[in-house]
């Protein structure tokens, strides 16, 4: 059929238009594919793909014995990502039923929006997660996350601290070592399909997460458990406001246990601070141990010096210094044993205030020890504007001084180890993800707090506090303890003023007394009605030492190898008989039957004193020192003191009322007069000692 002219025109126009359309489409596609390729590729990548962070496994924390005290667990978390309003309606209705909300509450509470991410709940328990996995409508998803777990529950949480919902450290060691424990996050490639679902493209991450390094702590969780338990019992038993305690390894400064207990603490499972390092207190008479160290180092006192203690009241101008008892003439040892304020004040005045301050600095007071825990305080050690007999005496009594519990424990550790002050250490080393030790921390010596020549004398004094002085309730048949009691005034940390009729009771020391291994202190704030440290904190310290000794029988040795256990007596030990009141010959026969050796001050007569005392556990072959009252007019002879330690010699010489001088430290290697010579009580017995 022949087309008309108009038809041909219309067909031509249509063909031209079609050609122009396809030309335009081709040009546009050419422009997009060639000239705009890079730009639109980025848009497509951003809309349909990307990367997502992969959290790194947090490092594990071990105690010094290799027990895991902080680890990771996997838990499910619930989130919403609805792609339509109908999904929001179904999700809201489901969550209302799941959490027992009123109708319409969930959508508002969780701010559900189309194509908006919303957390619903984190770290679900396994049963709830399984239920949601079976029932959840489209748009609700479960995601696996890592959370922190503490196998020992509340034990040690004040030291460890805690992590938040995102597994980041918020207090304690978890915060201090966040960078070490957290590791480095990885990166994974993702893609989204047309319905908005997200899925991984690669089985392996683009960048693998790097696990955090694990920590090996200096703490012993067995001792930590004991300390927390006994501290809690003490606060309850003595009606204290709260209590703190710290124990360290004397030889290295390793922190073995630290704790505080406050019945009013609201969230003990999420501790924000550890009071042993953040809170300070006035030490009172326990500070006298360090004053004694300074006096011995300055060679101002010895075993036989006496001071008149004014029968309990010493007037200093318009002020009066008091003792609890009416005490007269006392030796320096007796001043320490009976904790005489007047005696230590008069003696300290001979040393001077500036030297007292210098002594306190050598023991680490007035400065941060940098133990690795957040919030550590340095206490306060400020000299007065003007020194006087009263201000010097007050300082020697531990007044006007602010210390932390850890500072006191560390300072007693310096006395125990022979005068070396170590920096308290909380981390032994670091372990990588394969369990290999990658670095080890070394013990750090800060300086020398006291001279070795003074140590044995101070040990004898502090053992005397427990045997004869203010800390008799601390004396234990299980393990020998040395230390010093303290009862100071309680300070309001907000105002800095003394609290009226409120006291801080403390006992600081170390055990075993003859070969110290562990030093520490127990502090009770405002115990009632008993306020004395020797009757509150002291018995608590004793129970801690006894319980730890029983679970560690190989770590300790008592004076002359006395055994540690009180309830279960080992077969290879014997009990020291009671020789007092018996004839020396009979006493020797009793000792022979048990395999013991008697060293006597005379060849015949009646036993009037013995050391160690009766019922103490000894090993066969150990010596028992006895004082013998000679029969008739027999002359007293100088006893053989060679081989005895300073503490034993001191006890005997004071018992016999003899004047003596000691040079060196350790055990007696030479004495003048020689053994067997006739005693002249006006003569000085010179003793030379050397380390055994």
What are the extents of the domains in the chain? Answer: 53-217, 221-561, 574-690
pLDDT digit string (tens) for 464-515?
999 999 999 999 888 899 999 999 888 776 666 777 788 999 999 999 998 8
Whether the predicted pLDDT of 450 surpasses 90 = yes
Query: Which secondary-structure segment (H or E) carries 405?
Result: helix 405-416
Residue 53 vs residues 56, 123, 166, 188, 522: alpha-carbon distances, Å: 9, 19, 13, 6, 47
* 3-state SS class at 521: strand
Second-level CATH architecture of 53-217 = Alpha-Beta Complex (3.90)
Cα–Cα distance for residue pair 90/136, rounded to 1 Å: 9
Whether the predicted pLDDT of 197 surpasses 60 = no
More confident residue, 316 or 145: 316
More confident residue, 433 or 246: 246
Whether the predicted pLDDT of 47 surpasses 50 = yes
Which of 247, 231, 243, 272 shows the shortest CA–CA distance to 64? Answer: 247
Contact 483, 465 (CB under 8 A): yes
Position 647 scores a pLDDT of: 67
pLDDT digit string (tens) for 6-19?
777 877 778 888 88
DSSP lists the bridge partners of residue 1 as none
- The conformation of residue 361, written as its DSSP 8-state character, comes to H
The whole-number average pLDDT for the span 234-242 is: 95
Which of 59, 76, 77 shows the shortest CA–CA distance to 68? Answer: 59
Question: Average model confidence (pLDDT) for the chain?
Answer: 84
Position 562 scores a pLDDT of: 31
Which of 150, 178, 125, 126 shows the shortest CA–CA distance to 71? Answer: 150
Position 203 scores a pLDDT of: 42
More confident residue, 334 or 497: 334
Position 97 scores a pLDDT of: 87
The whole-number average pLDDT for the span 95-115 is: 86
The whole-number average pLDDT for the span 53-66 is: 84
Residue position matching structure tokens 């007693």:
412
Cα–Cα distance for residue pair 553/448, rounded to 1 Å: 31
Least confident of 103-117, 175-189, 342-356: 175-189
pLDDT band at residue 524 using 50, 70 and 90 as cut-offs: very high
Position 288 scores a pLDDT of: 97
Most confident range, picked from 28-32, 160-164, 258-262: 258-262
pLDDT digit string (tens) for 62-91?
999 889 999 988 888 888 888 888 888 888
Would you state the structure tokens that stand for residue 451, as one six-digit string? 């001279």
Position 451 scores a pLDDT of: 92
Cα–Cα distance for residue pair 501/511, rounded to 1 Å: 32
Whether the predicted pLDDT of 559 surpasses 50 = no
Do 53-217 and 221-561 fold alike per CATH? no
Most confident range, picked from 65-74, 110-119, 443-452, 545-554: 443-452
Cα–Cα distance for residue pair 478/540, rounded to 1 Å: 14
Q: Note the pTM of the prediction, 2 decimals.
A: 0.72
Whether the predicted pLDDT of 282 surpasses 90 = yes
Whether the predicted pLDDT of 100 surpasses 70 = yes
Residue position matching structure tokens 């709830």:
128
The whole-number average pLDDT for the span 329-335 is: 92
Position 682 scores a pLDDT of: 66
pLDDT digit string (tens) for 428-440?
999 877 767 777 8
Would you state the structure tokens that stand for residue 23, as one six-digit string? 């030309």
Q: What angle do CA 547, 548, 552 make, to 5 degrees?
A: 125
Cα–Cα distance for residue pair 475/507, rounded to 1 Å: 12
Would you state the structure tokens that stand for residue 617, as one six-digit string? 């556990």
CATH number of 221-561: 3.40.710.10
Which of 437, 432, 439 shows the shortest CA–CA distance to 56? Answer: 432
Residue 400 vs residues 148, 231, 487: alpha-carbon distances, Å: 43, 26, 13
pLDDT digit string (tens) for 606-664?
888 888 777 677 778 888 888 888 765 555 567 788 888 776 777 777 677 677 777 76
pLDDT digit string (tens) for 343-364?
999 999 999 999 999 999 999 9
More confident residue, 448 or 306: 448
pLDDT digit string (tens) for 117-174?
788 888 888 888 888 888 888 888 887 777 888 999 899 999 999 888 778 878 889 9
Position 560 scores a pLDDT of: 36
Contact 309, 360 (CB under 8 A): no
Beta carbons within 8 Å of 365's beta carbon, 6+ residues apart = 290, 379, 381, 401, 403, 407, 411
The whole-number average pLDDT for the span 567-586 is: 73
């Amino acid at each position: 059929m022949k087309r008309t002219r108009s038809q041909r025109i219309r067909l031509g126009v249509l063909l031209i238009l079609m050609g122009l359309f396809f030309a335009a489409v081709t040009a546009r596609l050419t422009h997009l594919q060639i000239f705009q390729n890079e730009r639109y590729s980025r848009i497509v990548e951003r809309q349909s793909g990307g990367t997502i962070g992969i959290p790194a496994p947090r490092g594990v924390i071990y105690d010094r014995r290799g027990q895991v005290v902080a680890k990771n667990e996997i838990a499910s978390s619930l989130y919403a990502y609805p792609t339509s309003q109908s999904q929001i309606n179904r999700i809201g209705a489901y969550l209302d039923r799941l959490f027992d909300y009123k109708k319409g509450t969930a959508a508002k509470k969780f701010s559900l929006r189309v194509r908006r991410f919303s957390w619903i709940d984190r770290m679900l328990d396994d049963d709830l997660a399984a239920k949601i996995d079976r029932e959840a409508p489209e748009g609700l998803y479960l995601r696996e996350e890592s959370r922190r777990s503490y196998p020992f529950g509340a034990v040690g949480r004040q030291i460890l601290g805690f992590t938040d919902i995102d597994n980041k450290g918020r207090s304690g060691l978890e915060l201090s070592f966040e960078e070490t424990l957290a590791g480095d996050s990885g990166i994974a490639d993702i893609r989204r399909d047309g319905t908005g679902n997200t899925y991984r493209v690669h089985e392996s991450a683009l960048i693998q997460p790097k696990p955090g390094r694990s920590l090996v702590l200096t703490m012993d969780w067995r001792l930590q458990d004991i300390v927390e338990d006994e501290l809690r019992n003490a606060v309850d038993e003595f009606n204290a406001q709260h209590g703190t305690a710290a124990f360290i390894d004397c030889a290295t400064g390793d922190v073995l246990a630290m704790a505080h207990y406050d019945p009013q603490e609201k969230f003990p499972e999420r501790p924000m601070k550890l009071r042993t390092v953040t809170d300070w207190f006035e030490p009172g008479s326990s500070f006298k141990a360090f004053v004694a160290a300074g006096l011995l180092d300055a060679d101002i006192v010895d075993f036989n010096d006496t001071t008149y203690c004014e029968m309990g009241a010493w007037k200093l101008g318009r002020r009066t210094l008091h003792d609890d008892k009416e005490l007269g003439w006392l030796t320096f040892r007796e001043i320490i044993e009976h904790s005489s304020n007047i005696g230590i004040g008069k003696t300290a005045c001979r040393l001077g205030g500036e030297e007292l301050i210098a002594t306190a600095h050598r023991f680490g007071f007035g400065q941060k020890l940098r133990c690795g825990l957040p919030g550590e305080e340095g206490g306060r050690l400020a000299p007065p504007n003007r020194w006087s007999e009263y201000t010097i005496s007050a300082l020697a009594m531990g007044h006007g001084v602010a210390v932390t519990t850890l500072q006191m424990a560390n300072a007693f550790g310096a006395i125990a180890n022979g005068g070396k002050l170590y920096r308290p250490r909380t981390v032994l080393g670091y372990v990588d993800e394969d369990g290999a030790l990658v670095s080890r921390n070394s013990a750090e010596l800060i300086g020398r707090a006291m001279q070795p020549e003074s140590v044995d004398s101070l040990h004898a004094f502090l053992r005397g506090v427990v045997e004869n002085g203010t800390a008799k309730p601390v004396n234990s048949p299980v393990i020998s303890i040395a230390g010093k009691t303290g009862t100071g005034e309680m300070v309001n940390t907000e105002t800095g003023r003394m609290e009226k009729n409120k006291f801080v009771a403390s006992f600081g020391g170390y055990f075993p007394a003859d070969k110290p291994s562990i030093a520490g202190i127990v502090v009770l704030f405002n115990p009632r009605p008993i306020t004395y440290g020797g009757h509150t904190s002291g018995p608590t310290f004793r129970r801690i030492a006894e319980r730890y000794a029983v679970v560690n029988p190989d770590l300790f040795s008592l004076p002359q190898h006395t055994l540690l256990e009180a309830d279960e007596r080992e077969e290879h030990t014997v009990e020291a008989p009671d020789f007092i009141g018996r004839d020396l010959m009979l006493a020797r026969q009793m000792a022979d039957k048990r395999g013991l050796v008697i060293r006597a001050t005379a060849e015949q007569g009646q036993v009037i004193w013995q050391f160690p005392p009766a019922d103490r556990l000894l090993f066969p072959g150990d010596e028992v020192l006895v004082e013998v009252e000679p029969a008739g007019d027999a002359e007293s002879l100088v006893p053989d003191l060679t081989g005895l330690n300073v503490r034993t010699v001191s006890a005997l010489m004071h018992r016999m009322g003899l004047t003596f001088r000691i040079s060196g430290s350790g055990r007696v290697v030479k004495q003048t007069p020689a053994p067997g010579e006739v005693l002249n009580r006006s003569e000085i017995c010179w003793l030379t000692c050397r380390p055994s």
